[in-house]
């Protein structure tokens, strides 16, 4: 028995809806001093500084969220404080997004976003 040509598009649409509703949600980081959170933040500051020829020094993490990434790994959305030693040590907050697999090599991690937060 052959299925109707309408069945396949309906099945595909149902699978798409089911997969989009199964996406992970952002979860707040409870302890910004947790080792993995500090390492991710330091990675973000280092990579941004190297890529953009900026002298930035990691100071700390203000807050953050994590999310299980589609296809594996973890997304880290962090607000990081960094200092500019060449500018008298002035500090600023940066919004950063990092993807990686905790425990993996650093060359597999990706800095997706690093933006200065403008204080209003």
Report the C-alpha gap between 97 and 91 in whole angstroms.
Answer: 19
CA separation (Å) from 39 to 44, 50, 51, 87? 9, 16, 18, 24
Q: How many domains does the chain have?
A: 1
Domain-located, residue 19: no
Per-residue pLDDT of the chain (120 residues; tens, 9 = 90+): 555 555 444 444 444 444 444 567 999 999 999 999 999 999 999 999 999 999 999 999 999 999 999 888 999 999 999 999 888 889 999 999 999 998 888 788 999 999 999 876
Domain-located, residue 65: yes
Per the structure, the complete domain to which residue 75 belongs is given by 28-116
What is the predicted pLDDT for the residue at 9? 47
CATH code for the domain of 104? 3.10.450.10
What is this structure's pTM?
0.78
What is the predicted pLDDT for the residue at 7? 45
Domain-located, residue 14: no
Report the C-alpha gap between 96 and 67 in whole angstroms.
Answer: 14
Report the C-alpha gap between 10 and 87 in whole angstroms.
Answer: 60
């Amino acid at each position: 028995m052959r299925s109707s040509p309408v069945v396949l598009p309906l099945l595909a649409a149902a699978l798409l809806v089911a997969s989009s509703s199964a996406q992970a949600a952002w979860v707040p980081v409870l302890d910004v001093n947790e080792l993995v959170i500090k390492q991710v933040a330091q990675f973000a500051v280092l990579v941004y500084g190297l890529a953009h020829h900026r002298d930035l020094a990691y100071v700390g993490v203000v807050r953050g969220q994590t999310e299980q990434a589609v296809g594996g790994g973890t997304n880290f959305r962090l607000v990081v404080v960094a200092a500019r030693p060449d500018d008298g040590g002035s500090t600023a907050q940066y919004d950063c997004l990092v993807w990686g697999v905790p425990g993996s090599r650093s060359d597999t991690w990706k800095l997706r976003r690093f933006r200065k937060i403008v204080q209003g």
